[in-house]
């Protein structure tokens, strides 16, 4: 849902809500709507409702509902139910009383428990409106993201069909080259095997939304080995990752973009300042770091298309549950990606 459309819906809601509420008050309760106290009370009460509504809608719901933190959501709702009468009491029974000399409640009814109970109708009502509004927005955006992913996937499949050369033909050819060179040139044979494994991984494993983390690490290692081979091993890079990856899963082909960027823009022959690719797992989360120096004449744009695509993909897969921090100066670039492990 676009911001403009969201604002329009909210404006319509508040016009109807305030209009109906004031109409009901004028008919049933308030006969002196022109008095100073009544005007100030109505304005203050509306501002309080807006405060509680958007505190829940903009702060609490986005931090809890997408991450399924239901206990925190429930605790926060109870907190707002208490916050509502607390603010109302200060405004109406303290501030307005000093201005107008009138109380809203009889002094004998200003027992804290009774005051919270008597205001619970208004606080719960506005919280329910904010929850329903956020859930509608969340479902709207989720459906839009799913539809966009489906369209993008279909487009990618169509492009793959247009450009496809039979993978079996390539695999069989590479395996044939490997067999021919195994005895006479084992180094080249090993490189061909790595290339075959990479091609197989990109062709088949990338069809899955999630892949084993250990397979992704092997893919990156093969990429690095072939890149080193291309430059006769004169590549300054350190690649570290834990051995105990078990059955962790991550989105397929998520990390190769950062490795390609490091090779494309980084200084690859400075052994005092090598390219650093580091993978760690902590508390069920993956922490991926890529850092490198680059020449002052290089154009290293952290806002490039590749990073935008990665950010968009992460926002769809892990809304409010990931981070991609970029540090950059005139000669140094570092990106740190943190995502939950499946």
Put the strands of the sheet holding 332-340 in their side by side order: 237-240, 275-282, 285-293, 332-340, 323-328
**Cβ atoms of residues 164 and 203 within 8 Å:** no
Whether residue 338 is predicted with pLDDT greater than 90 in this model: the reply is yes
The answer to which of 70-74, 109-113, 269-273 has the lowest mean pLDDT is 109-113
pLDDT band at 161 (very low <50, low <70, confident <90, very high): low
CATH class, range 204-340: alpha beta
- Average pLDDT of the segment spanning 327-340: 88
- Average pLDDT of the segment spanning 139-156: 77
Rounded Cα distance between 227 and 263, Å, is 9
Q: Where are the domains of the chain?
A: 3-153, 165-201, 204-340
In this predicted structure, what is the pLDDT of residue 170? 62
Give per-residue pLDDT as tens, 185-244. Answer: 777 777 777 777 777 777 666 667 788 898 889 889 888 888 887 777 778 889 999 888
Give per-residue pLDDT as tens, 28-78. Answer: 555 554 477 788 888 888 899 999 999 999 999 988 888 888 899 999 999
In this predicted structure, what is the pLDDT of residue 128? 92
In this predicted structure, what is the pLDDT of residue 109? 67
**Dihedral-angle region of residue 328 (phi above 0 means left; psi in -120 to 50 means alpha; beta otherwise):** beta
In this predicted structure, what is the pLDDT of residue 162? 47
- Average pLDDT of the segment spanning 176-193: 72
In this predicted structure, what is the pLDDT of residue 276? 92
Name 188's bridge partners. none
The reply to whether the predicted model has a pTM over 0.75 is: no
In this predicted structure, what is the pLDDT of residue 29? 57
């Amino acid at each position: 849902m676009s911001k403009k459309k969201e604002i329009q819906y909210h404006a319509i809601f508040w016009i109807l809500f305030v209009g109906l509420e004031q109409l009901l008050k004028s008919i049933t309760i308030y006969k002196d709507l022109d008095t100073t106290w009544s005007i100030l009370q109505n304005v203050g009460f509306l501002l309080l409702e807006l405060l509680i509504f958007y505190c829940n809608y903009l702060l609490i719901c986005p931090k809890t509902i997408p991450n399924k933190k239901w206990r925190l959501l429930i605790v926060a709702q109870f907190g707002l139910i208490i916050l509502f009468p607390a603010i109302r009491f200060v405004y109406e029974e303290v501030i307005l009383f000093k201005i107008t000399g009138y109380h809203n409640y009889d002094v004998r009814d200003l027992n804290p428990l009774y005051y919270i109970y008597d205001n619970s109708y208004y606080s719960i009502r506005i919280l329910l409106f904010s929850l329903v509004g956020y859930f509608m927005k969340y479902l709207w955006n989720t459906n839009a993201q799913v539809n966009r992913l489906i369209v993008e996937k279909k487009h990618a499949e169509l492009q793959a069909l247009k450009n496809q050369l039979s993978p079996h033909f390539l695999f069989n050819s590479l395996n044939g080259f490997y067999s021919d060179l195994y005895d006479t040139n084992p180094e080249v044979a090993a490189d061909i095997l790595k290339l075959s494994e990479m091609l197989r991984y990109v062709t088949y494993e990338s069809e899955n939304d999630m892949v084993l983390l250990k397979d992704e690490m092997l893919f990156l290692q093969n990429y690095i080995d072939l890149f080193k081979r291309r430059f006769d091993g004169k590549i300054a890079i350190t690649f570290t990752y834990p051995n105990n990856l078990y059955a962790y899963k991550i989105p397929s082909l998520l990390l190769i973009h950062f490795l390609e960027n490091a090779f494309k823009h980084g200084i690859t022959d400075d052994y005092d300042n090598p390219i650093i690719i580091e993978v760690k797992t902590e508390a069920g989360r993956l922490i991926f770091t890529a850092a490198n120096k680059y020449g002052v004449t290089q154009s290293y744009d952290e806002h490039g298309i590749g990073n935008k695509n990665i950010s968009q993909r992460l926002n769809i897969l892990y809304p409010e549950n990931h981070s991609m921090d970029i540090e950059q100066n005139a000669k140094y670039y570092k990106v740190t990606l943190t995502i939950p492990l499946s």
